[in-house]
Structure 1
């Protein structure tokens, strides 16, 4: 389960990109600005590669309001995706990438 309490928050994401992983699922959160509006983009993708080296068709993105509530929603969404796609993440974690 992803729990970022005390580790990251909007002030951190406002200055950069936050990445992490959870049992085969990697994730990335960043601020996006669209037409005078800030949104929080959360992206999930399987191990083993970093965001830049992972194929686009392996990534799933969702946008949330750039607010504390949106941050909580993003974490809840990532946890939900982890649970509903657990087989995908387990396969990625257990794959041999030699």
Structure 2
């Protein structure tokens, strides 16, 4: 399982995207400006290996928006772990390609 201690803090995410992978599941966290919202959000996305974010079709990606703060990052890690368990066969199939 993914652990919060392995993720970058808010100050890093203010300037850079954070990407990684875990047993066939790729993920990305980034600061996201949302139209009509005063404050930025934390965008969290998952998709199957083998391709990077830009090379993966939109329909293969799943995203959520959370508060852009330390609590949002913790909730994002929880969501990533939930996706890893809930879609285990998807990630296993991707890692065998």
Residue number in structure 2 paired with 1:51: 53
Residue number in structure 2 paired with 1:19: 19
CA distance in 1, matches of 2:85, 2:91: 9
With over 3 angstroms needed to count, the CA separation of the structure-2 counterparts of 1:51 and 1:13, relative to structure 1, is: same
Indicate the SS of the match to 1:51: coil
Residue number in structure 2 paired with 1:78: 80
1:3-45 deviation digits (Å, cap 9, x = unpaired): 2415411111111100000000000000012232110000000
TM-score normalised by length of structure 1: 0.92
CA distance in 2, matches of 1:6, 1:82: 16
Indicate the SS of the match to 1:62: strand
Residue number in structure 2 paired with 1:63: 65
CA distance in 2, matches of 1:6, 1:62: 20
Over the aligned positions, Cα root-mean-square deviation in angstroms equals 1.1
CA distance in 2, matches of 1:92, 1:7: 23
TM-score normalised by length of structure 2: 0.93
